Structure 1
Amino acid sequence: MSSIHFFEKGKGQPVILIHGFCEISEMWSEFADALSSNFRVICPDLPGCGKSPLTLSQNNLEEVSIQLEDWIEEENIQDPIVIGHSLGGYVTLALLELMGSKLKAIGLFHSTAFADDEEKKGMRDRTVIFLKKHGLDTFVTSFVPPLISEHKRDDFQAEIAVAIAQAKQSTLEGLIAYTKAMRDRKDRLEVLKNFSGPKLMIAGTLDGAVKIDASRKHKLAISDYHELEGVGHLGMIEQKDTCIEILRGFCGRVIE
């Protein structure tokens, strides 16, 4: 039996929303509420995050995707639309490579099909060192606020506090494992290109984690591309209503 913890709302076409690094399934609660009138929205905690235990000593995205495939089959989730934020997008692509046409459509939310370049890999290595030295609480308190575009941080202080509190529900071992998994992940642009189903991308023009120039290089591989002007890495906070409508419209077109 799968150890993946999740919550779900609604009935109909399954839509799986996968959270990112330093996040848990609860980040999607308002999205699940809004979309549940039309879809069966399912939000898992990735292993080592929230209420899902870290069952592998060294995570890599391939192992995570195998765990998610087992969970999807166990829960009888058929032909899902899978949308992932950041790390969740990397997991979505690994799942796509594993399951192929068993997925109805996919979405990358502030994410990329590219592997880390050498500069980013160095940053991941420094993150591992910081986590081991200073611990989870100190790391997430400094990591989360810059994900919001700088000119909007004062406007979203309450939301940032909630995001920090949710990030602290991860495990130190899980954050270290996922940092290494992100560093070592392979390029999956061809996997994305070769998928014949609908493909969504939401990008922020001020995203410091996934640069807008990199996002724009995906356009030929994406059927439904959206840019959020003046938005950082957390569009679901900075432009929540817009993002909900983008997801609602995309998922609706998938099942037309």
Structure 2
Amino acid sequence: MPHSTYTDVGSGDILVFLHGFCENKNVWAEFKKPLQKKFRTIALDLTGFGKNTSGVTDYSMESMAEYVKQELDKLGVKKCILIGHSMGGYTAMAFAAKYSSMLNGLCLFHSSALPDTEEKRENRNKTIEFVEKHGVEKFIQSFVEPLFFADNRPKLRKEINAMIETGIKTPKESIVKGLAAMRDRKDRTEVLKSAKFPVLFIFGKEDGAVPLEKALEQCHLPNNSMVYFLGQTGHMAMFERPYETRKAIEKFAETILG
């Protein structure tokens, strides 16, 4: 079913993919192709990103979660496994806080239930100032490459360039307000603690955005969790380690769904 703000391919149990900051649904396109043979896979453009940029007034994680709910209702989804990369994981946590009964499971893919630290909040503020002053293109040029572990960058040049191209098309307002929304997001660790659904954590050992100590702080919180730490991997395992992470998601789904 082609649609500008989502893709919906395959049949069976449902996996829903949420992209990260300055990305769009296409970040998952290659990654989920093998999964489409076994599952119904849905990828959404979150509010303010991709083709979903008109008439946005609220960029909060709660508002993004409401958008996800509305789209899933339209698509007739009653239960799914939600997979959120980075900002998509923050959105998934806001969704889980309100609509946990819709979740068979949740995957935090280089993401976190923890709020920003003071230092991180300060960095977000500095980034907002940088974008306001220097514009989107200059920001994206400096933002994308460090998301990948240095040793992986030469062989992933094509993917890095594609992400830069996507990022440059993101409206300035979405970047500035998205940064503020991530800065102000809630602590969702209670959602993990009370989760009735299993949680899969995927972390890169070289991820500057979700440092290892933050990963360790939360992966034991759910009653039922699977944790995957990847060496020589930054923040973008869907490109850096696609085979391993895809297998982890597949195994997670099959464990839950039988």
Q: Which category describes the TM-score, using the shorter chain as reference length?
A: over 0.9
Which amino acid counterpart does residue 240 of structure 2 have in structure 1?
E
Which amino acid counterpart does residue 232 of structure 1 have in structure 2?
G
Partner of 1:105: 105
Q: How does 1:240-255 map to 2 (within 5 A)?
A: 240-255=242-257
CA distance, structure 1, for counterparts of residue 54 and residue 194 of structure 2: 31
Secondary structure of the corresponding residue to residue 17 of structure 2: strand
Kept in 2: contact 1:9–1:32 (CA 8 A): no
CA distance, structure 2, for counterparts of residue 33 and residue 23 of structure 1: 18
Deviations 1:108-157 (CA, angstroms, capped at 9, x unpaired): 00001100010000010011111111111111111000001122222221
Deviation above 3 Å: which 4+ runs of structure 1?
Answer: none
Kept in 2: contact 1:54–1:174 (CA 8 A): no
Residue 151 of structure 1 pairs with residue 161 of structure 2:
no
Kept in 2: contact 1:4–1:46 (CA 8 A): no
Partner of 2:239: 237
Q: For residue 54 of structure 1, report the CA deviation from its aligned partner.
A: 4.6
Provide the aligned length of Structure 1 versus Structure 2: 254
Secondary structure of the corresponding residue to residue 125 of structure 2: helix
Q: For residue 33 of structure 1, report the CA deviation from its aligned partner.
A: 0.9
Q: For residue 101 of structure 1, report the CA deviation from its aligned partner.
A: 1.5
Deviates more, 1:152-161 or 1:37-46: 152-161
Q: For residue 176 of structure 1, report the CA deviation from its aligned partner.
A: 1.1
Kept in 2: contact 1:24–1:169 (CA 8 A): no
Change (3 A) 1:4 1:107: farther
Q: For residue 210 of structure 1, report the CA deviation from its aligned partner.
A: 0.5
Q: How does 1:84-123 map to 2 (within 5 A)?
A: 84-123=84-123
Q: How does 1:31-46 map to 2 (within 5 A)?
A: 31-46=31-46
Residue 199 of structure 1 pairs with residue 199 of structure 2:
yes
Kept in 2: contact 1:4–1:47 (CA 8 A): no
Q: For residue 107 of structure 1, report the CA deviation from its aligned partner.
A: 0.5
CA RMSD of aligned residues (A): 1.4
Q: How does 1:62-81 map to 2 (within 5 A)?
A: 62-81=62-81
Deviates more, 1:49-58 or 1:36-45: 49-58
TM-score (norm 1): 0.95
Residue 226 of structure 1 pairs with residue 189 of structure 2:
no
Kept in 1: contact 2:147–2:235 (CA 8 A): yes
Deviations 1:20-60 (CA, angstroms, capped at 9, x unpaired): 00111001001221100110000000111110125333411
Q: Percent of aligned pairs with the same residue?
A: 33
Q: For residue 175 of structure 1, report the CA deviation from its aligned partner.
A: 1.2
Secondary structure of the corresponding residue to residue 32 of structure 2: helix
Which amino acid counterpart does residue 102 of structure 1 have in structure 2?
M
Q: For residue 4 of structure 1, report the CA deviation from its aligned partner.
A: 8.0
Kept in 1: contact 2:48–2:59 (CA 8 A): no
Secondary structure of the corresponding residue to residue 37 of structure 2: coil
Segments of 5+ residues of structure 1 without an aligned counterpart are none
Deviates more, 1:118-127 or 1:61-70: 61-70
CA distance, structure 1, for counterparts of residue 16 and residue 77 of structure 2: 9
Change (3 A) 1:31 1:152: closer
Segments of 5+ residues of structure 2 without an aligned counterpart are none
CA distance, structure 2, for counterparts of residue 123 and residue 4 of structure 1: 33
Partner of 2:175: 175
Change (3 A) 1:4 1:91: farther
Q: For residue 183 of structure 1, report the CA deviation from its aligned partner.
A: 0.2
CA distance, structure 1, for counterparts of residue 54 and residue 127 of structure 2: 19
Partner of 1:57: 57
Deviations 1:218-256 (CA, angstroms, capped at 9, x unpaired): 221241100001211111111111111111111121210
Partner of 1:189: 189
Secondary structure of the corresponding residue to residue 31 of structure 2: helix
Kept in 2: contact 1:14–1:78 (CA 8 A): no
